[in-house]
Amino acid sequence: MSATRKALDNEAEEPTARQEAVLDAVLSLMVEEGDQLTMNAVARRASCSKETLYKWFGDRDGLLTATVRWQAARVRAGRYDGQNLDVAALRDSLKDFAANWLTVISSPTSIALNRLAIGHAASHKSNLGPIVLANGRFAIGERLRPVLEAGREAGLLDFDDPETAFRTFFGLVGRDVQIRLLLGDTLDMSAAEIERDAVRATDQFLALHGRKPSAPKA
Amino acid sequence: MSATRKALDNEAEEPTARQEAVLDAVLSLMVEEGDQLTMNAVARRASCSKETLYKWFGDRDGLLTATVRWQAARVRAGRYDGQNLDVAALRDSLKDFAANWLTVISSPTSIALNRLAIGHAASHKSNLGPIVLANGRFAIGERLRPVLEAGREAGLLDFDDPETAFRTFFGLVGRDVQIRLLLGDTLDMSAAEIERDAVRATDQFLALHGRKPSAPKA
DNA sequence: CCCGAACCGTAACGTACGGTACGGTTTGTG
DNA sequence: CACAAACCGTACCGTACGTTACGGTTCGGG
């Protein structure tokens, strides 16, 4: 049972601890230096040889892909189960969800990662864009959908299409934050500010899709 | 009166017709090839010499900056004056505004330009990010504000801070469209779809900030 | 007609970087 | 201890591209 198995060409392989350290080095370089993300710099930062990098990840693109996947894997957090269906719990779930999402997209790591993926979407090589999309936008959509549907089942929410409802919530939460951060604007995004934004977005969403529990429909 | 004046190092200079043709070549290359935006390719596409490019724009960064400015200058369109203060006119103004904005951000040119600026925001060289931000997000904010304030003056809208109200509208209109397009997702965004989205966003905004004209406050 | 400025097309230069090769060192195993 | 695999550090190669240089051509003014 060797420590490196086959290499991470295919998506399935889990990186070893050492490989994770390398990927963390890539992330830190990406955040600090932005574009000075050369194979030499990675090898230096990770104290490994370029030969090892190519052995493990195939090429530069494979390294970046593995890095995106590695970061995506650790974002998984937050439990938002759709039980306890009263309006306060629903509001709390939505608010926590919004706050968590704002925290993620305003983190330096997320900003650097999205910039990288967007740059790669310009050239048509590799598919970092779809990966980031699948683990960001679409992942949270999937995670929030049960909450929304549970809210609808409980007569607390009113909407036709869960996807459309989610996109409305997404817009109310994110607004112009992500594009401004990606373009280099400096935004407050302190914990207090995020909390305020999350509450506001949640209130607005409930104002649009909340149903008065006057006729709870048995 | 030479045709080329000094060069476009400083922001003030207006490009000549020939220079505009060069900038259009840059734009078309940006949209078509994405990253194959080399000085050689630009010179070939624009049928000019590289020497001329450097004489006019200083360096590659100057050329890109001039291109961003040139494109920004032509986006100016749409009139949304705040007169005729009835609810139908306000709704129309908001809807046209939303449709126009969605059309802009879903155009290939805008996508390519934002990708370029985001890539440059990663490296700290130049300031394409602020330029795009100033001519995109902030420009429309400034243009919509009078509409919102006129609506408030007329008793049709209710909000505390125009900026916050605008950001809500911005979120309801854009939702996840821009980030998905930037990351390479293929979205419908046909004229019909844009129209639907604009109407929906406007209705939602009015549901949140519209005021029933029951007591028009003399 | 003549001259010079502006410009085109191409060639050439220097560097940065992705990718490869290799010698020396560590590490795990029988 | 011996041996092999993995790995580190560094040097090296080829290419792409930004930038500069130069010869030839067009064009407007005197």
Please state which CATH number belongs to domain A78-209.
1.10.357.10
Q: How confident is the model at residue B76 (pLDDT cuts 50, 70, 90)?
A: low
CA B167 to CA B155: how far, in whole Å? 20
Tokens encoding B114: 């934002």
H or E element in which residue A152 lies? helix A137-153
Q: Which residues of A touch B167 (CB under 8 A)?
A: 175-176
Residue whose Cα is closest to the C1' of D16: B38
CA B147 to CA B209: how far, in whole Å? 13
Half-sphere exposure of B40 (CA within 13 A, CB side): 2
CA A117 to CA A125: how far, in whole Å? 11
| Average pLDDT for chain B | 88
DSSP letter for A210, please.
B
DSSP letter for A128, please.
H
User: Which of A116, A125, A127 lies closest to A26, judged by CA?
Assistant: A116
Judge residue A217's burial from the number of C-beta atoms within 10 Å of its C-beta, 0-12 exposed, 13-18 middle, 19 or more buried: exposed
Residue whose Cα is closest to the C1' of C22: A51
- Identify the residue among B182, B187, B196 best suited for mutation to test binding to A, counting A beta carbons within 10 A and taking the highest: B182
Nearest CB among B130, B173, B207 relative to A184 is that of: B130
Sign of dihedral through CA atoms B174, B176, B179, B180? negative
Q: Cβ A119–B118 below 8 Å, yes or no?
A: yes
Residue B210 pairs in a beta bridge with B157
pLDDT of residue B78: 59
Q: Cβ B170–A176 below 8 Å, yes or no?
A: yes
Ordered per-residue pLDDT tens for chain A, 218 residues: 333 334 454 445 678 888 999 999 999 999 998 888 999 999 999 999 999 999 999 999 999 999 999 998 877 666 666 566 899 999 999 999 999 999 999 999 999 999 999 999 988 877 899 999 999 999 999 999 999 999 999 999 999 999 999 999 999 999 999 999 999 999 999 999 999 999 999 999 999 999 976 554 44
DSSP string, B83-152: -S-SHHHHHHHHHHHHHHHHHHHTSHHHHHHHHHHHHHHHS-SS-HHHHHHHHTHHHHHHHHHHHHHHHH
Q: Do B17-61 and B76-209 show the same overall fold?
A: no
Max Cα separation, chain A? 68
pLDDT of residue B36: 85
pLDDT of residue A75: 75
Could you state, in order of their start, the residue ranges of all structural domains in chain A? Answer: 17-74, 78-209
CA B190 to CA B103: how far, in whole Å? 9
**Domain B17-61 listed as CATH 1.10.10.60:** yes
Share of chain B above pLDDT 70, in %: 87
DSSP string, B55-69: HHHSSHHHHHHHHHH
C-alpha R_g of chain A: 20
Nearest nucleotide to the CA of B47, by C1', is C8
pLDDT of residue A177: 98
Q: Which nucleotides of D are covered by protein (CB under 7 A)?
A: 5-11, 16-23
CA B49 to CA B39: how far, in whole Å? 10
Residue A140 CA, chain-centre distance (Å), reads 7
Give Cβ neighbours of residue A43 (< 8 Å, ≥ 6 apart).
Answer: A49, A50, A52, A53
Q: Which residues of B touch A144 (CB under 8 A)?
A: none
Residue A157 pairs in a beta bridge with A210
Nearest CB among A176, A184, A207 relative to B137 is that of: A176
Annotation: CATH topology of B76-209: Tetracycline Repressor; domain 2 (1.10.357)
Nearest CB among A130, A182, A208 relative to B204 is that of: A208
User: Which of A130, A131, A205, A195 lies closest to A170, judged by CA?
Assistant: A205
CATH superfamily, region A17-74: Homeodomain-like (1.10.10.60)
Q: Say if residue B217's pLDDT is above 50.
A: no
The helix/strand/coil state of B158 is coil
Nearest nucleotide to the CA of A52, by C1', is D7
Residue A70 has φ and ψ, to the nearest 5°, of -65, -45
